[in-house]
């Protein structure tokens, strides 16, 4: 253990040199300390190497003997130390300082990391001539400057977007990259959240007058109210969150809850006992089962309950064998294994939950999730939750709980459901709308045509000239010289007074009739 003077326990005590002595050799040398009649005396005529204990005579200000000793006997601790320190404003020093700032920002490291012993040692080995700036320099200058530069780039990109959509959530973690994170110390009411939303819109200059700005949030009432109070919308509940809520309803059905409770008790036992875990691994090897650990679920994440159930069923023979092993048997009197009927029910429920698991996995791994998928996935889940004559009582109850929770979501207000139908129609993967009955399919494309005509009421006709809002045709164009000379001779085949709305209808009909793309294709690259 290092003492206050910098010595090492069991070694001769050394006194650190005064702060006025700047040479790098003092990192490896100190003045020996003696105690004479109980009085501490520092010998400043001799220095002692901290690496090997060698003594070197010292004349005030002369460090050449110490430097030569380090270079000859301890080159690994000196390395390039003979290099002169960088000037703080040199290009090399600035580049290293900026790189440290990137490291702190990109990896979400604390500012104090730049002053940590290990980090300083790393920098000393890599570039001995570099003097690491203070923590305040990074927190007050370097990282804020980098933030402003990146913010300017993002704002420039956002300014080019004709429309935007937002996602917002309340969260306690800082580990997820987002456009903006702001603390909210007040009550998380809809009004306070709306205020933060409008502030963010103004700060990033993403207001779009006369344009809807959809906002995806979780399904909490305060989030829904915040979007409305901020004058944004439509508000779209996060579908992954909706799936979680519906699934939680299903797995909390009384009989299912009791079954899962017994499984949790078994899993907890193997988690807390290293002896039990070892016995389980032995049984897995003997039964030639995968040596997987049992999974304990997290109450807020339904899919972790699915994973726990799936893993338990995979390992049930090894679990039973371990619990009946003489090594553990006396300690597991209160542990109840599943009966054959329990296992059958668990397998049945796992099967019915598979579509929900597949949807959750899809939403978690999709690189560009889109609202076009919401109603399509909802329909697929509701179909899988339809009752069947073969269902056991517990399966029927789980299905009913999930179906009743999910079926009313995204139906109110009606405008939201219509918006989502149109979004699905605009996705070339799903534009056939085969999950809808014919009347709703026709209505969706009719609504899409109407909205397109309305939104393009001021769209370009030719050469930047636009049709006035509500007008069917574009105003007469001023003829260019070429048109003046040859316009009557070489008449364009489709030229005429076709109504603007009719053109849009034809384009929408052409899009509807065109072939779609595979469901695993990228809708953003379709043309």
- Compute the half-sphere exposure of residue 277: CA atoms within 13 Å on the CB side of its CA: 11
**First-to-last C-alpha distance (Å) of the chain:** 69
pLDDT number for residue 18: 84
Q: Phi first, then psi: what are they for 30, rounded to 5°?
A: -150, 170
The continuous run of DSSP H or E covering 444 comes out as: helix 438-455
Residue-wise pLDDT tens for the chain (527 aa)? 334 344 444 467 888 888 778 788 888 889 999 888 888 899 999 999 988 889 999 887 788 888 888 888 888 775 444 455 677 788 899 999 999 999 999 998 999 999 999 999 999 888 888 889 999 999 999 999 999 999 999 999 999 988 899 988 876 655 567 888 888 888 999 999 999 999 999 999 998 888 889 999 988 899 999 999 999 989 999 999 999 999 999 999 999 999 999 999 999 999 999 999 999 999 999 999 999 999 999 988 999 999 999 999 999 999 999 988 888 877 777 777 888 889 999 999 999 999 999 999 988 887 777 899 999 999 999 999 999 998 889 999 999 999 999 999 999 999 999 999 999 999 999 999 999 999 999 999 999 999 888 877 644 444 444 444 444 445 455 555 656 666 566 555 554 445 778 888 899 999 999 988 888 888 888 76
Q: How many other C-beta atoms are found inside a 10 Å radius of the C-beta of residue 214?
A: 19
Measure Cα distances from 97 to 86, 102, 122, 412 in Å.
12, 9, 14, 54
pLDDT number for residue 22: 75
* Phi-psi label, residue 201: left if phi above 0, alpha if psi -120 to 50, beta otherwise: alpha
pLDDT number for residue 178: 84
Give the distance, in angstroms, between the CA of residue 247 and the centroid of all CA atoms in the same chain. 22
pLDDT number for residue 174: 53
pLDDT number for residue 469: 43
Helices (DSSP H) in 140-216: which residue ranges?
A: 143-159, 190-203
pLDDT number for residue 281: 96
pLDDT number for residue 316: 94
- Count how many residues are written for the chain: 527
């Amino acid at each position: 253990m290092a003492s206050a003077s910098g010595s090492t326990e069991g070694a001769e005590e050394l006194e650190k040199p005064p702060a006025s002595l700047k040479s790098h050799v003092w990192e490896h040398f100190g003045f020996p300390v003696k105690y004479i009649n109980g009085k501490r005396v520092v010998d400043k005529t001799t220095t002692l190497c901290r690496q090997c204990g060698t003594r070197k005579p010292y004349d005030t200000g002369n460090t050449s003997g110490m430097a030569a000793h380090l270079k000859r006997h301890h080159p690994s601790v000196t390395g390039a130390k003979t290099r002169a320190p960088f000037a703080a404003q040199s290009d090399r020093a600035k580049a290293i300082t900026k790189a440290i700032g990137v490291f702190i920002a990109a990896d979400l490291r604390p500012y104090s990391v730049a002053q940590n012993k290990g980090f300083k040692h790393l920098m000393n080995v890599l570039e001995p001539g570099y003097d690491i700036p203070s923590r305040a320099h990074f927190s007050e200058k370097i990282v804020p400057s980098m933030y402003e530069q990146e913010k300017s780039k993002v704002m420039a990109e956002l300014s080019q977007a004709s429309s935007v959509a937002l996602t917002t959530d309340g969260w306690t973690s800082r580990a997820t990259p987002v456009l903006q994170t702001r603390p909210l110390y007040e009550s998380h009411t809809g009004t306070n959240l709306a205020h933060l939303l409008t502030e963010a819109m103004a700060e990033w200059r993403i207001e779009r007058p006369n344009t809807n700005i959809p906002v995806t949030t979780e399904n909490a009432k305060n989030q829904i109210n915040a979007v409305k109070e901020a004058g944004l919308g439509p508000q779209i509940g996060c579908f992954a969150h909706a799936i979680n809520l519906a699934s939680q309803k299903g797995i909390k059905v009384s009989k299912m809850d009791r079954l899962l409770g017994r499984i949790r008790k078994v899993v907890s036992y193997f988690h807390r006992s290293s002896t039990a875990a070892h016995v389980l691994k032995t049984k897995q090897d003997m039964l030639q089962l995968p040596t997987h650990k049992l999974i304990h679920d997290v109450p807020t994440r339904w899919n972790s309950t699915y994973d726990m159930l799936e893993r338990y069923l995979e390992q049930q023979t090894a679990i039973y064998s371990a619990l009946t092993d003489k090594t553990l048997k006396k300690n597991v009197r209160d542990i109840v294994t599943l009966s054959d009927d329990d296992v059958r029910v668990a397998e049945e429920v796992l099967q019915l939950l598979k579509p929900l698991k597949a949807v959750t996995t899809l939403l978690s791994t999709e690189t560009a999730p889109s609202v076009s998928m919401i109603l399509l996935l909802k329909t697929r889940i509701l179909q899988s939750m339809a009752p069947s004559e073969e269902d056991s009582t517990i399966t029927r109850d789980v299905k009913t709980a999930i179906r009743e929770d999910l079926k009313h979501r995204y139906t109110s207000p009606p405008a939201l459901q219509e918006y989502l139908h149109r979004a699905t129609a605009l996705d070339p993967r799903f534009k056939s709308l085969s999950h809808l009955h014919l009347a709703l399919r026709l209505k969706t494309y009719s609504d899409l045509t109407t909205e397109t005509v309305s939104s393009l009421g001021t769209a370009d006709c030719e050469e930047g000239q636009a049709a006035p809002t509500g007008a069917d045709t574009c105003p007469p164009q001023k003829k260019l010289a070429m048109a003046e000379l040859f316009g009557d001779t070489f008449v364009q085949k489709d030229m005429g007074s076709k109504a603007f709305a009719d053109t849009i209808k034809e384009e929408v009909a052409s899009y509807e009739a065109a072939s779609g793309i595979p469901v695993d294709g990228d809708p953003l690259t379709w043309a």
